[in-house]
Structure 1
Amino acid sequence: MLLFFAAFVLLRSARTIIGAAAIAFYWALGSGWLTQPLLDLTQRDAPPGGQTVAPATYAPHTAIVLLGTGTIHDHDGKLVPPRDAYARIAKSADLYAHCKQVSPVCHVIVSGGNPQEHEATEADTYLPYLLRDQVPRGDIILENRSLTTYENARNVRAILHDGYYGSLILVTSAYHMPRALLNFHRFGMQPLPVVSNTRHAKLGFLPRGENLFDAEIALHELIGLAQFHVYREIGWF
């Protein structure tokens, strides 16, 4: 939007074309026809959602890492997980239940601080929902300081005891998984990626707010992937 506005201000002779291009661009995003390719590009390297984790995947000591995705306020003003977080919580609880059938030690590490500066962190907000899904408090480890995916990986690495966990499972959404894996690999971890959910645009003629939200997510991830590689090249990551 800022780029269109700057071009509109600076290129007076082309304002009609710029205005028409801006309208067409946002219509393509809102109607889903441009948003879906962006989502496909973001999610293409993620493993398929809903995959089954074989019992052999669980080691005697297994860690399941649940990555946060923010918090929102519901209609009553209560701080709750957003939609994608519910999917991540449910997937993590399901993995935990299967893990306990074959492994004596299964821990769920919830990683997420408070980048939105709400009244509670992501990890603390998600905790009651894991408890509701029959994950015992004693098997939940809260990492509630990380503000970025890079910090998620760095802080989880600090929690893991060398040689203690024989299996590490990473749970997040399909659009976030490629960037999450890059960061976890950066800290020497090779987790098994398990996708909690995949996003799809709703195609049509009329623009939808949800499609614009999905487009923002896709662009955020694509920029984040580019940022990771740039930071690695200049030595910041």
Structure 2
Amino acid sequence: MTRIDLEDAGGGMRDEMPTARSRSTRLVAYLRVSAYGLVGVGVAFAVGFGMFADYISRLTTPENPPAADAIIVLTGGQARIDAAVNLLKSGKGKRLLISGVNPAASRRSLQRATGSDNALFNCCVDIDHAALDTIGNAEESAKWVESHDYSSIILVTNNYHMPRSLLEMRRFIEKVEMTPYPVVNSRLDGGSWMTNRAALRVLFTEYTKYLGALARAVVPLRSTPDGVALVDATTTTISKNN
């Protein structure tokens, strides 16, 4: 190889070295930005969870809610149904929908479980066996509200379940006044939820589901022949867990 050839080869190697270094620098920068992004997401998630848990812990059951056309209770605990039936008995609504009832549960068994008289259940209580989750509750409730032409309802569910329930309900029932009636089984105020493992587990699970409900807000709804909007099943997969 001539002197000129050696010089040319050395120049080629010098040209390649900066390129390798620049690629390494870009990779390090990318990894650093990704790490910062993950930390930021984690911090935002933790802060959001703290705000969510604090909000839930401060919810209380209204002593004397305003009367509405009807009452809707989402199943998930006996206390919810008892509270809704008591509202019906006290005249806070003309009719009650119990949404998401297990198909194996009969009207008679529900009537006995709540200690209500048969006449009340026969005249003023409707039972929905179709709903399998909170989205289903909202869809079936929307059909019920539409069929009765109600303009105001009281929504009954547990305190931790109320934010997500209201979010899903208002997606399907837009022009109806909705009064939340959170049922509180365990007091979590004063930050007591921070040291209660069972409460933390429930709140964390519900918070992640609430974030999922927020994300679903972008999913389009489709209209049915009877005018009720439903989630477009062709664009999303819906979980069957409450």
Please, which of 86, 97, 117 is the counterpart of residue 89 of structure 2?
A: 97
Say yes or no: does 1:229 pair with 2:214.
yes
3-state SS, counterpart of residue 153 of structure 2: strand
Which residue in the other structure is 1:82 paired with? none
Say yes or no: does 1:157 pair with 2:157.
no
Q: Which one has the largest radius of gyration?
A: 2
Q: Distance in 1 between matches of 2:148 and 2:128?
A: 20
Kept in 2, the 8 Å contact 1:113–1:146? The answer is yes
Q: Distance in 1 between matches of 2:74 and 2:108?
A: 12
Number of matched residues?
168
Q: Distance in 2 between matches of 1:197 and 1:213?
A: 15
1:130-153, CA deviations, whole angstroms, 9 ceiling, x for partnerless residues?
Answer: 3x1344332110011111111101
Larger helix percent: 2
Which residue in the other structure is 2:67 paired with? 58
3-state SS, counterpart of residue 52 of structure 2: helix
Say yes or no: does 1:67 pair with 2:70.
no
Kept in 2, the 8 Å contact 1:112–1:123? The answer is no
Q: Which amino acid aligns with 1:108?
A: L
1:167-190, CA deviations, whole angstroms, 9 ceiling, x for partnerless residues?
Answer: 311001110000000001101244
- Pair 1:228–1:122, CA change in 2 (3 A): farther
For 1:5-154, what aligned pairs fall within 5 Å after superposition?
Answer: 41-42=52-53, 44=55, 48-54=59-65, 57-59=66-68, 62-69=69-76, 85-99=77-91, 106-114=94-102, 120=104, 126-130=110-114, 132-134=115-117, 135-154=120-139
Q: Distance in 2 between matches of 1:39 and 1:68?
A: 26
Q: Distance in 1 between matches of 2:161 and 2:133?
A: 12
Q: TM-score, normalised by structure 2?
A: 0.57
Q: Which amino acid aligns with 1:112?
A: G
- CA RMSD between the two structures: 3.5
Q: Distance in 2 between matches of 1:165 and 1:199?
A: 32
Kept in 2, the 8 Å contact 1:68–1:123? The answer is no
- Pair 1:224–1:125, CA change in 2 (3 A): farther
Say yes or no: does 1:178 pair with 2:178.
no
Which residue in the other structure is 2:5 paired with? none
Please, which of 183, 191, 204 is the counterpart of residue 219 of structure 1?
A: 204
Q: Distance in 2 between matches of 1:190 and 1:138?
A: 24
Q: Distance in 2 between matches of 1:190 and 1:46?
A: 24
3-state SS, counterpart of residue 215 of structure 2: helix
Q: TM-score, normalised by structure 1?
A: 0.58
Select the structure with the greater relative contact order (CA < 8 A; seq sep ≥ 6).
Answer: 1
Alpha-carbon offset, residue 219 of structure 1: 1.6
- Pair 1:40–1:231, CA change in 2 (3 A): closer
- Pair 1:53–1:123, CA change in 2 (3 A): farther
Q: Distance in 2 between matches of 1:165 and 1:215?
A: 37
